[in-house]
Amino acid sequence: MQGRLLERSNEKPVFLNTDKIADAHQTKINVSVQSVYKPDSIQMETLKKDYSSLWAHLNHLYATNDVEAGKEYYTEPWFRQLCSHYKNGVEVTGITREDLSHHLAIQNWASDGLVCTAIDSNVVFKYNYHDKTSTSAKTNIAIVLLFQGDHWRIDAMRVINESPAE
């Protein structure tokens, strides 16, 4: 008898890994639902948690150009689109961004609970610079999220408008 020896990687499966970027992130998220179909309380908590994690990775991407770190929160087409814009050689500025608050207005919630379209109005960003100064901006964003695997992933995003915060 001959057996094959499988080489096993020491890498943990995705569901056992802890997400240090998401765990370190905090933001305020208020949600309102204008959709005919409404998420139940468990779906709502999952959405809020994943939405916060998604923004943690978008902020990390903004500061570091590290596309790989957040790939679990992007659909495949959106990940490919990001990769085409963040190639090697893109200079890292060292400017960091924090998202302080969100008001997520769910426009459409799929009856199967797998698709969510929303307007994130009055997103407040704080930009921190090298010289210890900072600025703030308010933004409205249209977003499409898909529930794939075990969490929500971003499929599309469009900035509607941006202005300096008051």
Listed by start position, the domains of the chain span: 27-164
pLDDT of 82: 86
Q: Are 100 and 124 in contact (CB under 8 A)?
A: yes
Q: Residue 135 has what pLDDT?
A: 93
Where b means 16+ CB within 10 Å and e means fewer, 59-87 reads: bbbbbebebebbbbbbbeebbeebeeeee
Give the architecture-level CATH label for domain 27-164: Roll (3.10)
- Residue 74 per-residue DSSP state: B
Question: By the 8 A CB rule, do 42 and 50 touch?
Answer: no
Please report the pLDDT score of residue 18 as a whole number: 84
- 10-residue mean pLDDT profile of the chain (166 residues): values are 62 75 94 96 96 96 88 92 72 84 97 96 92 93 94 95 74
Q: Do 123 and 101 meet the contact criterion of CB atoms below 8 Å apart? A: yes
* pLDDT, position 1: 56
pTM, 2 dp = 0.86
- For position 57, what pLDDT does the model report? 95
Please report the pLDDT score of residue 84 as a whole number: 85
The per-residue pLDDT for 4 is 65
- What's residue 127's pLDDT? 94
Which pLDDT score, from 0 to 100, does residue 152 have? Answer: 97
CB neighbours (10 Å) of residue 137? Answer: 14
pLDDT at position 17: 77
Residue 2 has what pLDDT?
60
d(CA 67, CA 21): 13
| Euclidean distance between CA atoms 28 and 30, whole angstroms | 7
| CA dist., res. 97 & res. 37, Å (int) | 34
φ, ψ for residue 26, nearest 5 deg: -135, 135
